[in-house]
Structure 1
Amino acid sequence: MAAEDLEWERSKISAQDINLLKKLGISKKKDSLRFPSEESYPSPPIEYRVSFVDHLIRGLSSPIHDFLRGLLFVYGLQLHHLTPNSILHISIFITLCESFLGVQPNWALWKRIFLLRRNGSPNVAYNIGGVVICVRPDVEYFNVKFPDSVQGWRKKWLYIHEESLDSAEYNIPPFDGTEKICRRRSWDAEATDEEKAATEALMTRIHELQNTRGKELSGIQITAYFLRIRVQPLQARKNPLWMYAGDKDVDRLSIDLSVKDLEKLIRKISSLSKKDTVPSSCRVTPYSATIALPQSIRGYRIGTLPPLAVSPRNKRKRRSCRFGTSKAGAPPADEVVPTEGRTTFNPYEDALVSSGDEDENPPIDATARTSTSHTLVVSEAQPDGDETSPPQQDIEHPTPIASPRAPSPKRARVEPAKEPTLPIGSSTTPSLDDPLMKEFIRLGTQFVGYHDHAKKLEANLAEANKRADALALKLEQREKALKKTEADAAAVKDLRKRLHDAETSLSDHIAQQSAREDEILTRLESQSRRFVRRTQQDYDLENPEGDRLLDALSLLEIHGDEARQGLTDAKIVLSRLFPYFFGKKEEPEAFTALAKCFKSKEDLGPSLRQEGLKIGVEGTIALVADSQQDVDWAKVGDVKDMETKKWQSLIKAAKPNSKKILAFLGFKPTPAPSSSKSEVK
């Protein structure tokens, strides 16, 4: 990616910015704006151009005003090359001309006030906002109070709709982020002496607007005015601002802003702080439909304002000559020419000669051709095609400054001369005084003049061919750029499809994960209920997480701890009982094996009691033997014939001493000693 492309990143237009554009009425027209989606580099659709939110709130809107089109064409710029403060400079200038001077935006006046400079240091070459419009140092102009820096404006880019026109001069250049900004001589173009003389009255009026005590006009007042009337100065409009008709004006984009919103917007685009007062109205009443233009400026006075140019989209049409040799009935030099029906001022045409990148048209000699004939007259109709030699002009009237691309002066037409005939009997070598010789001399002189003129036309034609070749080359480059754009669009479409597939796959994965979590949660809750049923004890979490899955897992951990503690206690008990039940076996280490020993089909209780009785009998025999009594142990062991009653009586007689004997043997007496005969074996 080129270095200049690094300035672009994904557009970050907030909902607050969108609401502001809606409130200003800029996005009211359908498809007038398009907001980028996910792209990090502009790829505008066909007939859309790249602009910025901060451009729109400073007076820009589509379709774009002809004067701005002219500036971009002459200076060789694209919209994204201009900073927000430069856009506001142009808006204020157009508002000043139309509302307070009563004239169309004037290229000659513009050159007297402004010039262009690069934005940034020599080591930094901006592509976005790389050019700024500056007031000439020697010109006294309105203090607009621009902010030192407009934060983040480069990140808020969008697309505005701009239809292509037939003429290259009128078209806004298609977006090309790789095109470098090249300095032109037109950036420093200065007004000529004739243009200064023609605009001197306008400069005087500007100084009066600035310096009239009690009626001073400021740049902030002009800005507040076009924001308050809701007309975008940089939009192509049906009527100029001096015909503004109030709330019913056809060029208004929205209803009036509230005082709070208007002050907030003015502070946003200027350096006014919250402590500064925002002007609610202008000290100078602007021209409008109710405040008509004064008689002195309703038309263009000869020698005061430059003449108007003709749109290059239409063929040149004949205009009645306002000065010099003209048809009968032309107005005198001091008469005001009415504005009705005159052609709209075209800034391209007055700019091209001074642009510096284009070769200047060859100077036209205003003097009459060298000819002895007096039959040259002004043509009734202007022929189409290249410019021809101009007609003679009346030197009694001041000559206005010619627009560089205004219609060519009318070609002189030669009336057909009658074919001369030799008088009968004349000499074959006529003298110079002979009428026929004079006629030949006149025709020869005229031929020489037209021969020179034909050479100039050939030079102009060669220059036109060069420009046509250059335009063809640009057209080829545009077509390549269009193909590249289409390829990029296909790539973007493929990326969007892949993104959609990825989003679908992610959604399916999330659904599967959610189902799995639900299944795990169900199993955890089931295990928890089993523990509660077996232990007959339920638990409540002290610090629940608020997540069902985590809480169920925590509860299961509590039950697990309880089960582990129970197993530990059971192993201790079984280990203690093992020697009594299984005296001849070795105790297993594993709990499960230990538990299996006690899980017998037989009842281990009687075996334990029998073992205890055996120990007791052996102890009793030992005590009897120790008492040195003679006992027939053969008869004692034969208890088959002993009656139950006798056995019970003997047991009853032995009870008083049984506790002592058991205590001696280390056993505690049972709470209910058995008298069953079957226990004695």
Structure 2
Amino acid sequence: MAAEDLEWERSKISNQDMNLLKKLGFTKKENALRFPKEESYPSPPIKYRVSFVDHLIRGLSPPIHEFLRGLLFVYGLQLHQLTPNSILHVSIFITLCECFLRVHPNWALWKRIFCLRRNGSHNVAYNIGGVVICVRPDVEYFDVKFPDSVQGWRKRWLYVHEESSDSVEYNIAPFDGGAKIICRRSWDTEAIEEERKATEALMSRIHELQNTRGKELSGIQITAYFLRIRVQPLQARKNPLWMYASEEDVDRLSKDLPVKDLEKLIRRISSLSKKDTIPSSCRVEPYSGTNALPENHPVLTSLPPLTEGGEVEEWTVVTDDNQGTSRPESEVVGSEKSAASSEKEVDSEATASTHSLPSAVSPGNKRKRDEKSPILAPPKPAHLLPKKLVLLKKPLMKEFIRLGTQFVGYRDHAKKLEANLAEANKRADSLALKLEQSEKARKKVEADAAAVEDLRKRLHDAETSLSDNIAEQSAREKEILSRLQSQSRRFVRKTQQDYDLENPEGDRLLDALSLLEIHGDEAREGLAEARTGLSWIFPYFFTKKEEPTTFTALAKCFNSQEDLGLKLRQEGLKVGVEGTITLVADSQQDVDWARVGDTKELETKRWQSLIKAAKPNSKKILAYLGCKPTPTPSSSKSEVK
């Protein structure tokens, strides 16, 4: 297996990813997706291409939009060589053009904003995701808030069904997992002067969308918009996004996502945390079926052009080290502008040095001059030529002369390269100084911006809190007024008098109502406590009776003519007597129970003395019987009848 193939391994798509793709509507169309089985290297079926879950959730969907097809062809790339954040860049650009600039995706505008760079780390060039789309260093563009790292995205690959186009050049190239990435001239092609003039109004509109106070548009708002309307920007659609027809739109993949799922998806593809708020709408209303384009609005169309013969010219590569950035999986984003700019200069110098060898060294040029030289006269015989000329005619001398001439040419070329290198070093030092100054200025601006943003946030929080307090106070006042009006109607029926709602001070009815409410609260608390107490003692007085559910019925149980306390003590005494009889019977002693039960013959003092004598052993008796003694209140009434 080639070295470039070592990055591929068995696809690991989780059930959570499968459920997400189902919610997003990718599985709605039959055979639109196919998931790998046991293969560790992609082998897509006919009419299928290799893509990734993280590409799909960032706006990609088959069949692929013609603008992305053109980009892949002009840049000489395969779909798997673009990083997820690069796919999101293209999605945001197409949505920006169609929804906010009122044009089709414009190739000239694209060249003014974006360029391509290699993605690698520690002298290792990636094959999967080896190319990064980034913002040019001199362009002010939307802050997209890309995540620092898209973990594990290379392992979540699958097959997507791709329809063929009428133009062969715009078809996605067949999958080649080991295709070598070559930096091409088209990667850094800038817009020409005519294209810059034609797109100047669009660039001005972008700056206006970014900097209009209170209506600032951000990359997160654009991303949230196309995820919310469920139309994939990178899909070949029947209608542009400015004709979006809400829930009836034919290009929608699924119904609206739940708010929780939408916010979770946006946080997954951006650097927003759980503490950051997700915009529920764009601050600038996008063009759609309900916000139509102005009449007679020109529709500009500019797709990536195809070169003659369908071929793309390549950079001349001197070493593999000058092909790109040294950023790992985290990808190169728009913030890495200075590094991208320096790479451009290095590539240009390497190309110039490779093609600017001196003319004295080129055998081809020498052959062309010999071919064009006219023959003025036939050569003289060797014996008629001077001795020096005879020596010059010898093959060895000719070789020496050729080497000497070549040496002179290389020496002059080396001196020229030294001069160019010295000039490049001066430029590098100057650029380093400017970079340091710009970095200081950037840090200062960021500090000022952070302070302003903090003040703005605190002001917003204060306004929100004040608004909430006003709303709560208003609701409370309405509730009080409603209550007073209700009480007023009640008292009008009873007393034929009304409240003075405008000026209630000194209103006797209102004062009486306040006292009534106070005493009513006290009565309610007393009833509640009484209900609790009666429920607590109910089982002691009524052991075989179920407790009533209402307080009135409960109170009637205790409103009996008999003395319930005496009854409880008598029952307790009865239990004690029965227990004593059981205890005596268990001792197997003969007892004259008739004599014991004849209380008429027993004097009261004698009875009291027997009870007093039994008290020290009462606990032992009860413990033997398995009873727990409970204190009973004393009573002046006799407990023996």
**TM-score, structure 1 length as denominator?**
0.45
Higher share of residues assigned helix: 2
**TM-score, structure 2 length as denominator?**
0.48
Report which structure shows greater RCO (CA 8 Å, sep ≥6).
2
Considering only CA atoms, is the larger Rg found in Structure 1 or Structure 2?
1
